[in-house]
Amino acid sequence: MRTRAGFEIIYDCPAPAPMLLSLSVHPTRQADLETADWVRTDPPLDVIQYLDTAGNICSRVVAPAGRLVLSADFIIRDSGLPDDYEPNAQQLDVQDLPNEVLVFLLGSRYCETDRLSEIAWSLFGNTPPGWARVQAIVDFVHNHITFNYQLARNTRTAYEAYVERVGVCRDYAHLAVAFCRCMNIPARYCTGYLGDIGVPVAGVMDFSAWFDVYLGDRWFAFDARNNQRRIGRILIARGRDATDVAIANTFGPATLVGFTVTTDEVLGDAGSEPIA
């Protein structure tokens, strides 16, 4: 399967403002790119890229005063297979977990394990550990939160999403991540593209949030918003929560005035598409 994806993000800046961006395809998917996923700027700016401590590709720019357009347009290959399914995957005891995953048991800015621990154990303490417990968490979060773009709030935490019972995909992911961590299952937040490929079109296209859990000896993707195995996920970044993978951090005033994300399946042979 081949997917054409990209974005156009427009800011108005009253004065020059440094920006830190997480908009590039994750290094684990770079080999699948058929065309470059460069972050383009209008007006043209120097774009400096580096890997952050979590292994995500970050871009640095200094936005000039006035209007700045950020964009990308690329084609990427995908297996076309749905998310991995391994119902026998086991939950490891904390003392047996690899050192590098322990940080994903801890509370974070948007995932307050201290406030949700008692709730989590009351809801999921009697579920079988491992895959079944994670699926029980996903089922609960999927049914507990009502999706509503109009009520989106970028400061909403997992606990607040639990209490308010409303949110967008990041809120589903934060609450599921927090519950998993409360149950001693390492969980990390993921952001990227997820088009309406193989499912009915639902709403306006946006970047998507899901989460990974560590079971057995590897990570598995779960999606509390959709609660079904999907095809065509394109990972951009992953971290403790949305703080680590914000698409843009601006160090100065900047008003978002335009935001478009596209993800479409490309039909036909690879040779039928121009190489950008």
CATH of the domain at 223: 3.10.620.30
238 located within any domain: no
Do 76 and 98 belong to one domain?
no
Do 135 and 206 belong to one domain?
yes
86 located within any domain: no
Residue 142: Cβ-neighbour burial (10 angstroms; 0-12, 13-18, 19+): middle
170 located within any domain: yes
Residues contacting residue 230 through CB under 8 Å, at least 6 positions apart: 82, 83, 194, 198, 199, 223
Residues contacting residue 43 through CB under 8 Å, at least 6 positions apart: 64, 68
Total domains in the fold of the chain: 2
For residues 234 and 78, what is the distance between their CA atoms, to the nearest angstrom? 9
For residues 176 and 117, what is the distance between their CA atoms, to the nearest angstrom? 12
**Residue 256's domain is classified under what CATH number?**
2.60.40.2250
Do 128 and 183 belong to one domain?
yes
Do 101 and 75 belong to one domain?
no
Q: Tokens 């409360």 correspond to what residue?
A: 182
Q: State the pLDDT at residue 196.
A: 80
241 located within any domain: no
For residues 156 and 224, what is the distance between their CA atoms, to the nearest angstrom? 16
Domain with 20, as residue range(s), is: 2-80+247-266
Q: State the pLDDT at residue 274.
A: 44
Q: Centre a 10 Å sphere on the Cβ of residue 265 and count the other Cβ atoms it contains.
A: 16
Over residues 163-217, the pLDDT tens digits come to 999 999 999 999 999 999 999 999 999 999 998 877 765 666 689 999 999 999 9
For residues 175 and 162, what is the distance between their CA atoms, to the nearest angstrom? 7
pTM for this entry: 0.93
For residues 99 and 237, what is the distance between their CA atoms, to the nearest angstrom? 21
Residue 12: Cβ-neighbour burial (10 angstroms; 0-12, 13-18, 19+): middle
For residues 173 and 120, what is the distance between their CA atoms, to the nearest angstrom? 15
- Give the closest residue to 106 by CA, choosing from 181, 212, 185: 181
Do 53 and 111 belong to one domain?
no
Instruction: Give the length of the chain.
Output: 276
Q: Spell out, as residue ranges, where the chain has pLDDT lower than 50.
A: 272-276
Q: Strand ranges (DSSP E) for 109-241?
A: 146-147, 166-167, 187-193, 208-215, 218-222, 234-239
208 located within any domain: yes
Q: State the pLDDT at residue 269.
A: 62
Taking CA 18 as the corner, what is the angle to CA 12 and CA 21, rounded to the nearest 5 degrees? 85
For residues 235 and 78, what is the distance between their CA atoms, to the nearest angstrom? 12
115 located within any domain: yes
237 located within any domain: no
Compute φ and ψ for 172, nearest 5 degrees: -60, -45
Q: State the pLDDT at residue 273.
A: 47
Do 186 and 256 belong to one domain?
no
